[in-house]
Structure 1
Amino acid sequence: MESGCSSSFQLNMMRMKMAAVTTVSLLLLLCSVISPASQEHCDKYAVTGGEFTVILNHTLKPTEKLRWKHNTTTILDRNPPKTAGSKPTYSKGSESDIYQNGSLKLTNLKKNQTGTYQPEVFEDGTPVQNLKKMFLCIWDPVQKPSLKTDCVEAKSEVKFTCSASKVPGGFNFEWLLNEKPLTSEKGQTLTKKVKDVKEVSIKCRVFNNASSETSEPVTQPCFKSLIPEKVLGVSIWIFVGGGGGVVLLLIILVIVCCVKARRKKHMRLKDEQELRLGWTNPEQQQQQPQQQHQHRRQQTPLPEHPHHHHHHHQHQAGHTGPRQNRTRQPRPRAPDPPNGHPQPSPRRAQTPKPVVNDDDEQPPPLPQPRKKVPKTPRA
């Protein structure tokens, strides 16, 4: 009885082991079907629909034969030219699939082109050694991300969230502040103090080994300045600087005009004061022409008068006869001045009357004392 129980237990254990092995095998097979690149290490990456060049690490000679293989399938077979000056021939593939140096050109890539690319070079039938092969992984390109902003903590902080469509192989996040990457931030969200990002442009970038995309720039919406940063595409500070220069120029012009007006007013008041003083001093006005006339007389040279010699008649002593009359000689007249006008006699120098200009404003009459009139008695 005991031996039958033990045999059934061992049978159940074997069945369980076989089921576990079968499950593991199915999982491995499923993984290999879904991601064939997971079985190999990817040397290079490319995106579906894109282009890629597989480099040939060998200097190809015109006399050598070249063959490219994808996994185990030959995709290009290039034969050397048969005669000098002719072109090489292709038994598989075409001239558009290869560069002149032998590198392989891949266009309009598809996922089934993922795999190992291996070159083979033959010189006179002998294979060239040490040629490198490469495993190429082809992934779908990442999509352009979108950036969302939210104000938190009573608008003292702002939260940025980067969103993008998922792709096989996944992608990573990177944050850019004014085009400079933040090396310490690698997550999908970014939280910053509003005061630290007041005037900062923020972007998020998603990337993997095959491709990358960057979002449109955004700024924090939690704090808005009353003064815009740009007006008509020009920085506001340019307008502020230009306006300040215009205001300064106007201030200088106003100061210059005020100084000129004040100086002009001062000169006008001074002229009026001198005119009033001239009106209130008529005696001084009368003396001024006399002084000018005397000054002219002093400057005008007087003519020299000839000496008159009087002949005295000597009479004999004791002569008591009548006295002889002396002939009166006329006095010499002073010559006329050069200008033709006669010189006034110094004895009869009269004070010239001041010239009165009818155009000048007449001074007001001086106040006279009031005369006392006898009162008439009432009848």
Structure 2
Amino acid sequence: MKITRLCVLARVQKPRVKIMCPNKSEVKFTCVVSQNDFKIEWLMEGKRLKEKEMTLTRVAKDVVNASFSCNVSNPVSSELSLPVQQNCYAPHSQDGCDEYAATGSSFTVPLKHKLQESENLRWFHNTTIIFNSKLDKRTKRNTRKDFFVDSTGSLKLTKLMKDNSGQYAPIVYDEEGRNVAHLLSLSLCVLDPVQKPNVTMKCTGSTINVSFTCSVDQKENYLEYKWLTTDKELTGNLKDTLTKKAEDVMNLPIACNVSNPVSFAISEPVYQECLKLYVAGEKSGPNIWVFVRFGAGFFLLLLLTVIVCATQKNLTQKNKYAIRDKEEFPLSQSGTETTAAAAVGQLHK
């Protein structure tokens, strides 16, 4: 008689993946489950890996955007963890966002699986279950009314706010509670639309330069700046300040374009005024003093010339009268002396 041995096992519990960064270049994924006697299987982007250990090690920069999950199983059941992404390495240009959406708008996270009526769909926002089709048999609409799931299983997010940013992940189970599809998660970043910027102008430097500054009433790491003139983009400058020689932008309108991944806005154009006097003579600038000084100098020179000429003329006339007096005076003196001598002679006689 053949004896059959029956083993009754508990169903495995849902595992979770813990991320550790031993250094800046490596990342360790550890599958955590509160049971014994199970097998581990690692998946990257839904594809099975050959590693079967509790901990999986990778070079962080090689798996920047890759999703990892672990599947735990025993002879009677299996459970798949939520997918996670490494956070040990972040390039300067890497923000961790798969998609972007503007605040107040709507966004759809597609379910890339043909959902069967008997299957149970769960949607996760980060680690929180926000939808469970097995429990929600009404219209598949959330009580918060900021999202709903359509007939295809896709998640429709409405009236987005910044706290709707995060990772969205679907999991599909069959009637026996087994994960039937390894679906990828999506990281959504919700941003405010860009407000209209303002450009101010300032004359700088000893060699007449002009600086344009682009200001916008919001501070985000996602903002990008572009400078425009006559509908053309000025290359080589992606900062909020643009400095040019005034003569190079003499009559050109200057505007700035501020953008983020969900919107853009263009400022009103402004014109440089550092060389405005030379260009159009529309306002009095420092150069009018050149003409004032020149006129004053010319007037003083003319006045000095008149004074010198008048003085020289007076001296000439005085010298002329003095010479004439000298010529006449000796003759008068000689006649007097002759008369006196004659008188003396008469006395002696």
Taking structure 1 as the reference length, what is the TM-score of the superposition? 0.40
The structure carrying a bigger strand percent of its residues is: 2
Normalised by the length of structure 2, the TM-score is 0.43
**Structure with the higher fraction of residues in helix conformation:** 1
